[in-house]
Amino acid sequence: MNKRTTAHLALLFTNLFFAINLSAVKHLTNAQLAGPFGINVVRVGVSTILFWCLFFLKPANISIAREDRLRLILCAVTGIAVNQLLFLKGLSLTYSIHASLLMLTTPILIVFIAAWLLKEKAGPWKIAGLLLGIAGALVLILAKDNSGNGNNVLFGDILIIINAISYTIYFILVKPLMLKYNPVVLIRWIFTIGLILVLPFGWAEFTAIRWEHFQPVDMLSISLVTLTGTFLAYLFNIYGIKVLGSSVAGFYIYTQPVFAALIAMLFLSEELTLYKLIAALMIFTGVYLANRQSVKSS
């Protein structure tokens, strides 16, 4: 198997892992075995340990220049603390399909926030993409859906949107660092600082996790969240971007809602209703239009 084929598989599995993550978290929170903040401590903590194990297996320069340390801390705030805390909390309140579709607004936000910071003019395709993406998100947020495992869908959807904004800021902040440092070294430090930041918010829920009630399926769920949905997903994504570039990696994000919908329907009995299909079409089209000009000009 050649390097490019391996990279394509890595990106495909990255999005499959993220999709599985959604249903695994919902399973644990719906069963009241663990709270979202407690799961986040496990997720970030285990991944941090594994990233440092990689360092001890293959030591490399881990120093970060003094002038880049503030940016690194901001990456940990936006990419780990705010992003993952709000994402898991929002996911516990809404539907897996909602969360996966709303996270698709991230590529649209990246185009517009990057354009704003770089003082680039937004063309008609980008504006149309933004409007379609917002409209699709509003369809999800405002729809009346009492079909099952969402305790507070509106609030959960809002948290997912704020999480997407936070992740967008992280993506823009981390990009210059990715060009300067080894990506695995960066991720290791971001997770380490992020763990310190999430501990005060998640410690109470972490200590309240009912480990004694965990059945094999529950242990499998927490393993999927930590090992595949976080650690391997981040590593595979870095590898895919390194070999194929960010544009190709960005294309694979379209597969995540498809995987998430199928898994949620099979294991959580979520319904793929008409309004979700309409919202999906609007958001998919919005992402395509918002990125159309930037792809042509690159």
Question: CA 275, CA 295: separation in Å to the nearest integer?
Answer: 30
So what's the pLDDT on residue 296? 43
Residue 119 has, within 13 A of its CA and on its CB side, a CA count of: 0
In angstroms, rounded to a whole number, what is the distance separating the alpha carbons of residues 225 and 23? Answer: 9
Predicted confidence at residue 294, as pLDDT, reads: 46
Provide the whole-model pTM.
0.81
Instruction: Tell me the two tokens of residue 76.
Output: 């940990």
Query: Which pLDDT value is given to residue 298?
Result: 39
Structural domains counted in the chain: 1
Q: Computed from CA positions of residues 64, 68, 70, 74, in that sequence, does the dihedral angle turn out positive or negative? A: negative
> How crowded is residue 66: how many other Cβ atoms within 10 Å of its Cβ?
7
Q: 296: burial class by Cβ within 10 Å (0-12, 13-18, 19+)?
A: exposed
* Cβ partners under 8 Å of residue 99, min gap 6: 22, 87, 90, 91, 156, 160, 260
> Are the beta carbons of 164 and 104 closer than 8 angstroms?
no
Return the pLDDT at 295: 42
Q: Which residues contact 176 (CB under 8 A, 6 or more apart)?
A: 71
Identify the segments of the chain with pLDDT beneath 50. Answer: 294-298
Cα torsion at 168, 171, 173, 178 (round to 10°)?
180
What is the reported pLDDT for 194? 95
CA–CA distance, 58 with 81 (Å, rounded to integer) = 27
pLDDT of residue 201: 93
Q: What angle do CA 154, 34, 264 make, to 5 degrees?
A: 55
Per-residue buried b or exposed e for 225-248, using 16+ beta carbons within 10 Å of the residue's own CB: bbbbbbbbbbbbbbbbbebbeeee
Query: Which stretches does DSSP call E strand in 25-168?
Result: none
174 lies in which domain range? 3-297
